[in-house]
Amino acid sequence: MLTIDISKKLESKLDEKIFSKSRKKQLPDGFKKGKVVNEVLDKPTVMTLYKMITDHIIAYVNGAVSAGKESVLFWGVDENKKDVALKIYLVTTASFKKREQYILGDPRFSKLKKGTKNLIYLWAKKEFRNLSQCYDCKIPVPKPIHVVNNVLAMEFVGENGSPAKQLLESEIDEQDYDQAIEILKDLYKKANLVHGDYSEYNIFKTETGLILFDLGSAIDTRHPNTEEFLKRDINNITRFFSKRGIKVNDPEDVFQEIIS
């Protein structure tokens, strides 16, 4: 009994420390603070956020910004009042099988520990590493900041807790198509990566151009399925631009140019 009591107290103390009270009103509809903490974040994740505070990566968390199937994006703020995007991979809802193909076969992650939780932690690390490889090659991605367990901290793309518009929601032109193909090429040739989920949903359009995100599934070009994934990425993005009436090149020619 006593231990439960202590852990409950610790939990509410952490809640107080991690989640800002003053900004509660700014949370998007449907994200009440209590609900977020109790139903989305399990205790180990709350502890991980707390560690990010004691490690001075963030100062506090404002709340959830968007909820995907397998991750929730939180809006954090650092000690210089700069916004930080916190991508929190959900351990409970993880579809383990779907992910395996993007890790097995990637020589950077040959030692795979068994268990869903370990795979999720590795997945977060993998996204961090993919972002770093891109960032180092000057490919436009959110700047990676830190990763602990299932929490990935990166540059927040957007303002006041609202993410920038995805390509899907933006007006687009030929220049965007050219940049989208240029990014695919640089990913392959400079960062030695294939995105694996390249689409209008995973690219922001900002005033300074396109910014690629959601790099969890990106694989090393030595992975045996590289060509298949690259072809799929090219087809998806080509279809999107073509549907919007933009002149596109033959996907097969784009593929040959990228791998040559």
Ligand X SMILES: Nc1ncnc2c1ncn2[C@@H]1O[C@H](COP(=O)(O)OP(=O)(O)OP(=O)(O)O)[C@@H](O)[C@H]1O
Site for Mg ion, rule CB under 5 A: 202, 214
Residue 69's binding partner among ligand X, Mg ion, none (Cβ under 5 to 8 angstroms by kind) is ligand X
Is 214 known to be catalytic? Answer: yes
Tokens at 97, concatenated: 């099988």
Known catalytic residue at 173: no
Q: Which of 106, 176, 214, 220 is catalytic?
A: 214
In the set 15, 42, 178, 197, the catalytic residue is: 197
**Residues binding ligand X (CB under 6 A):** 66, 68-71, 73, 85, 87, 142, 154-158, 163, 166, 201-202, 213-214
Token pair in block for residue 173:
């032109």
Q: How far is the CB of 29 from Mg ion (least distance, A)?
A: 21
Nearer to ligand X, 127 or 258 (CB): 127
Which residue, 46 or 64, has its beta carbon nearer to Mg ion? 64
Give 87 or 99: the residue with its C-beta nearer to ligand X. Answer: 87
Residue 205 interacts with, from Mg ion, ligand X, none (CB under 5-8 Å by kind)? none
The partner in contact with residue 251, picked from Mg ion, ligand X, none with C-beta cut-offs of 5 to 8 angstroms by kind, is none
CA dist 85 and 164 (Å) reads 12
Q: Specify the residue, 3 or 160, whose C-beta has the smaller distance to ligand X.
A: 160
Query: What positions carry a catalytic annotation?
Result: 197, 214
